[in-house]
């Protein structure tokens, strides 16, 4: 017999904290990559610069989402 999968209920209580942690970790990775650019070959440098640009975009999107979650929390939506 196979078990039917049930989706987990949407638990938004810790979203702000979770997003904050994700932003901090992404910023750390970005900073580490920036420091390693000095020693990177031209190919590695190009790769790291592209990856860091994506990290900056992710940070921006997560920051926006965190602000939306904070607003929802203040409104008492969860």
Structural domain containing residue 25: 15-75
**15-36 vs 42-75: helix crossing angle, rounded to 10:** 160
The pLDDT tens digits for 22-52 are 999 999 999 999 999 999 999 999 999 999 9
* pTM for the whole structure: 0.80
Residue 42 domain flag: yes
Cβ neighbors of 73 (< 8 A, separation 6 or more) are 16
Domain membership of residue 7 (yes or no) is no
Look at residue 6 and tell me if it is in a domain.
Answer: no
Residue 45 lies in a domain: yes
What DSSP element (H or E) covers 65? Answer: helix 42-75
CA atoms within a 13 Å half-sphere pointing along the CA-CB vector of 33 = 19
Count of the separate structural domains present in the chain: 1
Q: Which of 27, 23, 25 is nearest to 62 (CA)?
A: 23
């Amino acid at each position: 017999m196979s078990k039917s999968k049930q989706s987990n209920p949407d638990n938004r209580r810790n979203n702000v904290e979770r997003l904050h942690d994700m932003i901090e970790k992404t910023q750390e990775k970005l900073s580490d990559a920036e420091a390693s650019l000095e020693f990177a070959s031209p190919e590695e440098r190009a790769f790291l610069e592209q990856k860091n640009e994506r990290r900056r975009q992710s940070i921006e999107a997560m920051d926006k989402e965190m602000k939306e979650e904070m607003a929802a929390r203040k409104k008492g939506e969860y």
